[in-house]
Structure 1
Amino acid sequence: MAETSRGPAGRPDVRVLTVTSTGGARPHTEIHGPDDGPTVVLVHGWACRAAFWYPVLRPLVAAGHRVVVYDQRGHGDTPATPGSCSPEALADDLCAVLAATLEEGRRAVLVGHSMGAMTIVAAADRPLLRAHAAAALLCSTGMDRLADESTVLPLRPGRWCSGGQRAFLRTTLGYGPLAPLFRRLIHHITMGQGATRAQCDAVARMVRACPRRARGEWGTVLAGLDLADRVGQLDIPVALLQGEADRLTPPVHAHRIHGRLTRPDGFVRLPGVGHMTPIEATDTVVATAARLAKEQL
């Protein structure tokens, strides 16, 4: 079920929905573009929100696509549901959004970044996803060993490194003011050297605005995540996009995912690009999503 209202400033091409999901979650959902266009569903990652996708959304809508975005629980305009964060909750919310935005028989291309891509894989065995998903694009993500293989902290691989990465994911400490030091830290963690000041500032503001308790609870989920066995259940064409300078989910993850896919449909590696591929390599994300929509819808 969903409640619908008009878009910002009454724009006729934007509809806002509040979807009902499990555990009391009510994902804030937006539909942009023409109702008769091929549908692309964009799923954001940890500590981000639906607005993260706007640089990708705008050219897709301009090209005639119908684009759905939503805030994961505890992010953006979706209230937190303490104690209900899990891979199953991610899958529940995605399926609730698909049910609310796609009529029976209508399919979409799913595009997920980081935790958003994990969301798609978490729902791989759901009949509703199989009914509505025509193809998927997984950007900068991993399905297991996230704390063990992250290179965010400059430590040698091992127990201390893994422990430090887990502590980073789980912390509920505030990130402090939007000062130069914080910007440099966000740049190091999330982006490649070629990222612009404006891109870094946009990501820093978004991450800092994420409620810290929800961020910490989802980080705890990520620290122990293991969806390796579900990758092969995603029985649709799947494209991968990976920044080679990604520290949060280094390229080893993408290579392992690619080897587990049932129907791989492209693997693009981006030299010098960090974790935030939809911002750092917007044109590539748009082109890949549009190609999948053209071929599969």
Structure 2
Amino acid sequence: MSRGPRTAGGAYAPPAPRRELTVTSADGSRLHVEEHGREDGPTVVLVHGWTCSTAFWGPVVRRLADEHRVFVYDQRGHGRSPAVGPGGYSTDALADDLCAVLDAAGSRAVVAGHSMGGMTVMAAAGRPQVRERVAAALLCNTGSSRLLHESTVAPLRAGGLRYRIQKAVLGSSLPLGPVTPLGMRVLRYATMGPGATKEQMEVCARIVHACPRAVRASWARKVLAVLDLDANLASLDLPVGVIAGEKDRLTPPVLSRRLAEALPNCTGLTELPGLGHMTPLEDPDAVAGEVAALVRGHLAGGVRQEAAQRKTPPAEAPAGKESA
């Protein structure tokens, strides 16, 4: 199990959580969960993507914590959530994990998912926890199907050769090695916009390189390469905003446009000029602003009354420690 990356300080340092807990998913998998912000604020749940961790959301958490109760969690096998067996990688598992975290949060929430985190939200569409506990959602840099067909990481024309190269690269279990200037430039090309700063590149690289290579390859081969959640979109009938990065090579804007057209209640598509796949790192103000707008529009009423009635769910382990 990874303990998470050593990220830079300042604006990109992961903030200290108010509370840490371990949540158990439907198949017994344990998830590391952090609660940030004010206890009586409207609840927000942030779901990170492939090869990332709770640290990825650090800049967005900082912008939301003064007014919101913010939950972040490590997807199974990422960060401080243990890896699972070969059968534990599926969209159903992603949905189960999100539902377990929603139950632990114990109140209605706005949920934001980035990349595979957005796929997690789509996978959970129609689940009782989503219908009862999710007031609105934000899908960032994600898609419901045809990821490898539309990805432009390989600088080739669309077709079979580009598809095969991207499938091989995505599913590779080769070690990424230490973070180097060359490695950061390669990662920026694949995942960030051309204007990404050196600090953003370093933070992104440390987070991605911290993901165990077997976990990285398993999610890529068993979920991302074969993803098809198109049928779930009709069940995601709550208010949903969509964010795309204009220069996103991994999940190009065409995928976000298709989502915006297919969702029953899309509140709008925001395409961020010049940004790549990692919009929560590249422009945390924009992402946090979209989350806060969904809270104001669909959750803010009655929050304090709910908070007064809320019973904080018990952690399975003391703060700062994990259960055995």
Fold-level match, TM-score > 0.5?
yes
Distance 1:277 1:59 in 2: 14
- 1:214 aligns with 215
1:22 positional shift:
2.8
- 2:48 aligns with 44
Amino acid at match of 2:242: L
Unaligned runs of 5+ in 2: 1-14, 300-324
Correspondence list, 1:155-166, <5 A? 155-166=156-167
- 1:116 aligns with 117
Q: Secondary structure at the match of 1:232?
A: helix
- 1:96 aligns with 100
- 1:17 aligns with 21
Unaligned runs of 5+ in 1: 1-10
Q: Secondary structure at the match of 2:251?
A: coil
1:157 positional shift:
1.1
Structure ranking higher on relative contact order (CA contacts 8 Å, 6+ apart): 2
Distance 1:177 1:100 in 2: 36
Distance 1:93 1:206 in 2: 21
User: Are the counterparts in 2 of residues 82 and 214 from structure 1 also a CA contact under 8 Å?
Assistant: no
Name the CA shift for 1:160/1:288 in 2 (closer, same or farther; >3 Å). same
- 1:181 equivalent in alignment to 2:182: yes
What are the superposed Cα offsets for residues 217-273 of structure 1, whole Å, 9 maximum, x if unpaired? 001110000001111210110001111100000011001111101001121111110
Q: Secondary structure at the match of 1:98?
A: helix
What are the superposed Cα offsets for residues 117-147 of structure 1, whole Å, 9 maximum, x if unpaired? 0000000020111110000011000110011
Name the CA shift for 1:13/1:198 in 2 (closer, same or farther; >3 Å). closer
Correspondence list, 1:65-84, <5 A? 65-83=68-86, 84=88
Amino acid at match of 1:93: D
User: Are the counterparts in 2 of residues 45 and 113 from structure 1 also a CA contact under 8 Å?
Assistant: yes
Aligned length: 283
1:12 positional shift:
9.7
- % identical aligned pairs: 53
Q: Secondary structure at the match of 2:235?
A: coil
Distance 1:49 1:78 in 2: 9
Correspondence list, 1:251-270, <5 A? 251-270=253-272
Distance 1:203 1:249 in 2: 17
- 1:203 equivalent in alignment to 2:207: no
Distance 2:49 2:16 in 1: 28
What are the superposed Cα offsets for residues 184-229 of structure 1, whole Å, 9 maximum, x if unpaired? 1100001001110000000011111100000100011100000011
What are the superposed Cα offsets for residues 7-26 of structure 1, whole Å, 9 maximum, x if unpaired? xxxx9961101000133310
Amino acid at match of 2:186: L
TM-score, L = length of structure 2: 0.86
- 1:237 equivalent in alignment to 2:239: yes
Q: Secondary structure at the match of 2:30?
A: coil
User: Are the counterparts in 2 of residues 171 and 216 from structure 1 also a CA contact under 8 Å?
Assistant: yes
What are the superposed Cα offsets for residues 67-123 of structure 1, whole Å, 9 maximum, x if unpaired? 000000000000000211000000000000101111xxx310000000000000000
User: Are the counterparts in 2 of residues 49 and 206 from structure 1 also a CA contact under 8 Å?
Assistant: yes
- 2:303 aligns with none
Q: Which runs of 4+ in 1 moved over 3 A?
A: none
